[in-house]
Amino acid sequence: MPEAASPHSSITFVVNGDRRTAGVPSHWTLLETLRYGLGLTGSKQGCDKGDCGACTVLLDGVPTLSCITPVHEAAGREVVTVEGLLRGPGDPHPLQTKFAEMGAAQCGFCTPGILCSAAALLERNPAPSRQEIKEAISGNLCRCTGYTKIFDAIEAAADELRRADSAPRPRDEGQHPADRRAHAHEGEAVGGTPAKEVLL
């Protein structure tokens, strides 16, 4: 008798500003769907137990451990991965720039999760204290060395963001995923990567 096919689910959600639909095994996690269903490998697969934080993404703006989040919990919601922090082609988020400039990435395995946690912090608190930074990334483990360069880079990025927010600039529509959220949720066309069907 032929072996029964494993159940699949069709999940539609907004990923990095674009509406995406993926057909994946029903038991998959959000991390597995992002990495193996959609090819977004920035989020790292580390402990698979929710301990290390390397898999951290933003789910409706909240840092979330994607390795222990069933993918069906993301249906109809908004996910931002480290790839989505880019503000446009060749325009990295200040956090990404400062991590590179200040040597905060080190081996880099934990960096995507830390960047997502830090981005959420700076979104809700543009001028965090050193203690608030420590608390915000307390769920992200770095095994390379101390956290001093990481803290310094987050503080430097916060300074840069505050300066940019205070400077006049032309309106820039549709470039960053955050600028496309309303359109995506209304079902209108959005710029960037077109929606894809992925069946595994």
List of domains in the chain: 1-85 (3.10.20.30), 86-167 (1.10.150.120)
Q: Average pLDDT in the 49-60 region?
A: 97
Q: Cα 129 to chain center, whole Å?
A: 23
C-beta separation of 153 from 95 below 8 A: yes
- Per-residue pLDDT at 51 exceeds 90: yes
pTM of the entire predicted model: 0.81
Give the contacts of 156 (CB within 8 A, at least 6 positions apart).
94, 98, 102
| Mean pLDDT, the chain, whole residue set | 86
164-181, pLDDT tens digit by residue?
Answer: 888 776 665 555 555 544
